[in-house]
């Protein structure tokens, strides 16, 4: 279940979004730590590791960049 490393690499290359980190959680430790129940699950964290934005399901790059730019204004 889930994406392979090759699929994640391909998606990251297609997204062409510098500064965005992609996490492949093959052992589900992060899913358990953040109590994620569905995948894909997008999360934006602040520098202190607090959740600032989430989305269940895929989002296009422009939406993610807009969210991150908005969050950066409050740092």
CA gap 44, 20 in Å, rounded: 9
Cis ω on the peptide bond leading into residue 46 (within 30° of 0)? no
The parent domain of residue 30 ranges over 5-72
Q: What is the pLDDT of residues 51-74, one digit of tens each?
A: 888 888 888 888 888 888 888 887
Whole-number Å distance between alpha carbons of 42 and 36 = 10
Q: Global pTM?
A: 0.58
Band (75; pLDDT cuts 50, 70, 90): low
Residue with tokens 């934006």: 44
**Tally of domains within the chain:** 1
């Amino acid at each position: 279940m889930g994406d392979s490393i090759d699929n994640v690499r391909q998606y990251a290359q297609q997204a062409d979004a510098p500064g965005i980190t992609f996490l492949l959680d093959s052992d589900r430790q992060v899913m358990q730590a953040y109590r994620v129940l569905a995948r894909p699950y997008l999360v934006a964290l602040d520098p202190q590791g607090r959740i600032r934005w989430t989305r269940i399901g895929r989002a296009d790059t422009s939406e993610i960049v807009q969210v991150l730019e908005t969050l950066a204004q409050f740092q």
